[in-house]
Structure 1
Amino acid sequence: MRRSFAFTCTLLIIGWLLVAIACVQVPAYTFWPAAFGALTLPIALGLNLLAVFYWLLRNWRVAALPLLVAVLTWPHFQRGLAVHPLRIAPLPSAEADSTTGPRVRVLSSNVRIFNVYPQLRDKELASSKKMIQWLADSPAEVLCLQEFYNEPRTSTSKEKNVFNSVERIGEQSGRQSFLSKTLTNGAGSEFGMAIFSRYPIVHRGTVSFGKLTQNHAMWADLHLPTGDTIRVFNFHLQSMSMDEQDIVDSYSSKSGLKKKGLGLMRRFKRGMIARSWQMDTLIRRFEASPYPLLLCADLNDLPYSYSYDQLADRFQNAWASVGNGVGSTYNGRLPFVRIDNQFAGPQWQVDDFWVHYEIPYSDHFPTLATYRLIRKAKVDK
């Protein structure tokens, strides 16, 4: 009787797992409840692994079923918890050799407008100065920055010597710059996103998500010293529009759940719907690229979401390819949250990927990856 009940539970878990995987592939703008079903996927994956261990102790023949499911769904498991225990990452390098293509180091970071707002500032703008200087000194050839802020020389701000970030991270550090502005205020200060490159930027462009949002995407074609041209996308999807304290309050007590829960659900729903069609817009642009792609993004979405799934089905996630653990990138009270990602097209090999936890100046930790362009083998005639 006990075995029959355990076997029934195992079948239910497998069914739950398959439904959750199907939910991940449904855009929220067509059927929004699927997005909430997708969020249960890590629980189903974990329970299926428990079923494997249970049946290995009880009946190895029955264990074959959840074990097969675990093997087939392993890529989904890797999305949230990367496991590469035997991997030794090579040292970052930008040099090409005779058998491989060029190596490119890419740094991506949501810089939270360099803490320019009064509620974010600290004494003597210490974190702002340190953040800009760290980015300027980065060895990465390509920098993709979200929630960017700049005060050019023409600005009337008294602090433009601190926040002249385009000049300091760009020209003074030997990089070309491409600033995609979504807003310029009355003082001439600029808000948006930016791409910086030590390689020549030969083409550039933006992708709008509509007039009702400042979230958008930008891209730049970079000409490498080896003669190769690559395309780098930098994008920031719709915000979750949820205050961190509200989320903490919602699960800390029953009264908090009743008071905050419904409002959070509504905002989360609106965000998921917006991000799903924003991602569909970008996928069409990615598929039209004539060059190898590297993608940097603040997805504002978890690895078990439609947005992430669309990218993971077509590209290599740098963390899932070479990392170990959760790889959380959110610097706040919510644990194990990875919403900042880098992806690479099939023409690339991911050499290494790091989350810079020692750089705490924003609510996002910077990520740094090294990619190697794969050369097609020449066939001797």
Structure 2
Amino acid sequence: MKNLSWFNKIIYVFNVILAVCTLIGYVLPFLAPKLFPFFAVLTLVLPSLLILNIFFLVYWLFQFKRQMWLSSVIFLLGITFFTKFFKFSEQTLAKEEEDFTVLSYNVRLFNLFDWIPNENIPENIKRFVEQQNPDIICFQEYSKSANFEFDDYKFRHIVMHGKKIKSGQAIFSKFRMINEGEITLPNSDNNVVYADVIKGSDTIRVYSIHLQSINISPDINEKIDESKSKLIFKRISSAFKEQQVQSELIQSHMNDFKGSKIICGDMNNSAFSYVYNNIKGDMQDAFVRAGKGFGKTYNYKYYPARIDYILVDEIFEVKEFETFDNFKNSDHFPILARLKITKDEP
């Protein structure tokens, strides 16, 4: 510090504060939001903290200052977190007859209330599904308002709730279903559905999940004053607490099933959260295995939010993963994974 100019001393103070916040962010995925609701909010901005650490690293590096080691250590400690945020290269392995594909998509009621000024949304989604032709589909915020059927899918599990407006989740499968059910989430309109499908000689339990929303508008141009900030913080803290309970119910249900599992859906939380960490456990994140870029699944302006996931057990080889972030027919984007069952871990 003695050899730094007054300007660089100020910069370094901010660097230290950032480093402390980033370290806290590294620990938060392992701490229940109910215990630290204030700090849990940091998980939403952890990617930004990682990027800022890179900026500080470059800033000191060009000046040949030893202060660069602070950001270097912080970044190296969190390199696994960075791969959950951005992937430089994708994995695309050769197609084989045993491969099968899984699509997950929050369709937002097929645009029932005209959130998007396009009357062709249902037809667009139907055409997209037909083009991708996945073997298993998990829809969140599903509605029968769209006047069509997915005829190629003989097996289906649809759970709808509501009085005037019925919505819910649906699992469509080309593979035979032998069991199906629902996990009711307390004090929530959200839910989890599951179905056991037969692929060859294997039974796979497929979960479609939709966790508590944080109820924040994606329009960042909206004016945010002090009262608005407090409301946003309160909503996020409340949602994170609800998501913790929901994730623990899902985890308990998963532990009771000893077969292979695939989890699809909308967690309404980042890959740096306790909720994600709790549900994922030892499973593979298909995006981390084979995706590319930011993997943006929610249409926040200017921020690549990834809150939709396909998680698979180690028995599955993730051969390809794609995020269709140019397909803007919902507030979410569809994601697709190509998988293969291996008898040994890949």
TM-score by length of 1: 0.79
- CA gap of 1:311–1:78, structure 2 versus 1, over 3 A, is farther
Match of 1:298 in 2: 266
Query: Is residue 248 of structure 1 aligned with residue 221 of structure 2?
Result: yes
Q: Hey, what's the Cα distance between the residues in 2 that align with 1:59 and 1:357?
A: 40
Match of 1:204 in 2: 180
Query: Is residue 115 of structure 1 aligned with residue 111 of structure 2?
Result: yes
- Provide structure 2 residue ranges, at least 5 long, that are not aligned to the other structure: none
Q: 2:83 aligns with which of 71, 78, 85?
A: 78
Q: Hey, what's the Cα distance between the residues in 1 that align with 2:299 and 2:152?
A: 27
The total of aligned residue pairs comes to 340
Residue correspondence of structure 1 range 362-373 to structure 2 within 5 A? 362-373=330-341
Match of 1:230 in 2: 204
Q: Give, as a single letter, the amino acid of the residue that structure 2 aligns with 1:258.
A: E
Q: Hey, what's the Cα distance between the residues in 2 that align with 1:260 and 1:11?
A: 29
Indicate if the aligned counterparts of 1:237 and 1:278 stay in contact, CA closer than 8 A: yes
Task: Give SS of 1:173's match.
Answer: coil
Cα deviation for residue 201 of structure 1 reads: 0.7
Q: Give, as a single letter, the amino acid of the residue that structure 2 aligns with 1:291.
A: G
Q: Hey, what's the Cα distance between the residues in 1 that align with 2:300 and 2:52?
A: 28
Query: Is residue 23 of structure 1 aligned with residue 12 of structure 2?
Result: no
Match of 2:192 in 1: 217
Question: Which stretch shows the higher mean deviation, 138-147 or 355-364?
Answer: 355-364
Task: Give SS of 2:87's match.
Answer: coil
Match of 1:163 in 2: 147
- CA gap of 1:312–1:46, structure 2 versus 1, over 3 A, is farther
- CA gap of 1:66–1:196, structure 2 versus 1, over 3 A, is same
Q: Give, as a single letter, the amino acid of the residue that structure 2 aligns with 1:95.
A: E
- CA gap of 1:261–1:317, structure 2 versus 1, over 3 A, is same
Cα deviation for residue 23 of structure 1 reads: 2.4
Question: Which stretch shows the higher mean deviation, 258-267 or 321-330?
Answer: 258-267
- CA gap of 1:94–1:358, structure 2 versus 1, over 3 A, is farther
Indicate if the aligned counterparts of 1:236 and 1:299 stay in contact, CA closer than 8 A: yes
1:157-207 per-position Cα deviation (integer Å, ceiling 9, x unaligned): xxxxx524xxx21xx21431100122354xxx7421000011111111111
Match of 2:324 in 1: 356
Indicate if the aligned counterparts of 1:137 and 1:173 stay in contact, CA closer than 8 A: no
Task: Give SS of 1:248's match.
Answer: coil
Match of 2:3 in 1: 2
Match of 1:330 in 2: 298
Cα deviation for residue 9 of structure 1 reads: 6.7
Match of 2:344 in 1: 376
Query: Is residue 283 of structure 1 aligned with residue 251 of structure 2?
Result: yes
Query: Is residue 139 of structure 1 aligned with residue 139 of structure 2?
Result: no
Match of 1:95 in 2: 97
- Identical positions, percent: 22
1:74-99 per-position Cα deviation (integer Å, ceiling 9, x unaligned): 11111122233xx45236x4622xxx
Q: Hey, what's the Cα distance between the residues in 1 that align with 2:196 and 2:252?
A: 17
Q: Give, as a single letter, the amino acid of the residue that structure 2 aligns with 1:314.
A: D
1:261-308 per-position Cα deviation (integer Å, ceiling 9, x unaligned): 222222222212111221121122223321111111111112232212
Task: Give SS of 2:39's match.
Answer: helix
- CA gap of 1:30–1:332, structure 2 versus 1, over 3 A, is closer
Indicate if the aligned counterparts of 2:179 and 2:196 stay in contact, CA closer than 8 A: yes
Q: Hey, what's the Cα distance between the residues in 1 that align with 2:80 and 2:338?
A: 22
- CA gap of 1:259–1:52, structure 2 versus 1, over 3 A, is closer
Match of 1:46 in 2: 51
Cα deviation for residue 16 of structure 1 reads: 3.2
Q: Hey, what's the Cα distance between the residues in 2 that align with 1:122 and 1:56?
A: 49
Q: Hey, what's the Cα distance between the residues in 2 that align with 1:324 and 1:2?
A: 42
- CA gap of 1:259–1:147, structure 2 versus 1, over 3 A, is same
Cα deviation for residue 62 of structure 1 reads: 7.3
- CA gap of 1:112–1:47, structure 2 versus 1, over 3 A, is closer
Q: Hey, what's the Cα distance between the residues in 1 that align with 2:46 and 2:188?
A: 30
Q: Give, as a single letter, the amino acid of the residue that structure 1 aligns with 2:301.
A: R
Task: Give SS of 2:192's match.
Answer: strand
Q: Give, as a single letter, the amino acid of the residue that structure 2 aligns with 1:248.
A: N
Q: Give, as a single letter, the amino acid of the residue that structure 2 aligns with 1:230.
A: I
Measured on the aligned residues, the alpha-carbon RMSD in Å equals 2.8
Q: Hey, what's the Cα distance between the residues in 2 that align with 1:348 and 1:38?
A: 28
- Provide structure 1 residue ranges, at least 5 long, that are not aligned to the other structure: 97-102, 152-161, 251-255
Q: Hey, what's the Cα distance between the residues in 2 that align with 1:321 and 1:83?
A: 12
Q: Hey, what's the Cα distance between the residues in 2 that align with 1:204 and 1:259?
A: 45
Q: Hey, what's the Cα distance between the residues in 1 that align with 2:15 and 2:172?
A: 51
Question: Which stretch shows the higher mean deviation, 355-364 or 306-315?
Answer: 306-315
Q: Hey, what's the Cα distance between the residues in 1 that align with 2:65 and 2:222?
A: 44
Match of 1:315 in 2: 283
Q: Hey, what's the Cα distance between the residues in 2 that align with 1:10 and 1:27?
A: 27
- CA gap of 1:126–1:54, structure 2 versus 1, over 3 A, is closer
Q: Hey, what's the Cα distance between the residues in 1 that align with 2:232 and 2:14?
A: 32
